[in-house]
Amino acid sequence: MGLIARSLEAAGIATVSISLARDLTQAVGVPRAVFLKWPLGHPLGEPEQPPQQRTVMFVALQTLLTAEAPGTIVEPGYRWRRQHYTEPDWAQLVAIRVSPPDA
């Protein structure tokens, strides 16, 4: 997926990856990624845990909007099956998106 992300970025389409293998993500050189230390095959979280899954999507979209340097890898530090998740505040993403760039 990292190679696809790089090709899309070269075509002007912004991407963010959700990674479960940090070393591979770094080696491929993705433009931006969210790394979760979770079991392979579960990049969005546990089955039937919508708040957890929406939280991962929120962090990924936030990373897409705020990462400034190429190769940024965000590690939110979420713990597999040992953490309670609440619904993210989606208004924060809207605020980031509509904020004027710094002059």
pLDDT value at 35 more than 60: yes
pLDDT value at 97 more than 80: no
Q: Does residue 103 form part of some domain?
A: no
- Give the DSSP letter string of 58-79: HHHHHHHHH--STTEEE-----
Q: Does the pTM exceed 0.75?
A: yes
Contacts of 30 (CB under 8 A, 6+ apart): 1, 2, 5, 6, 15, 17, 19, 71, 73
Range of the domain at 23: 2-98
Q: Does residue 30 form part of some domain?
A: yes
Count: domains in the chain: 1
> How confident is the model over 59-91, as pLDDT tens digits?
999 999 999 888 999 999 999 998 999 999 999
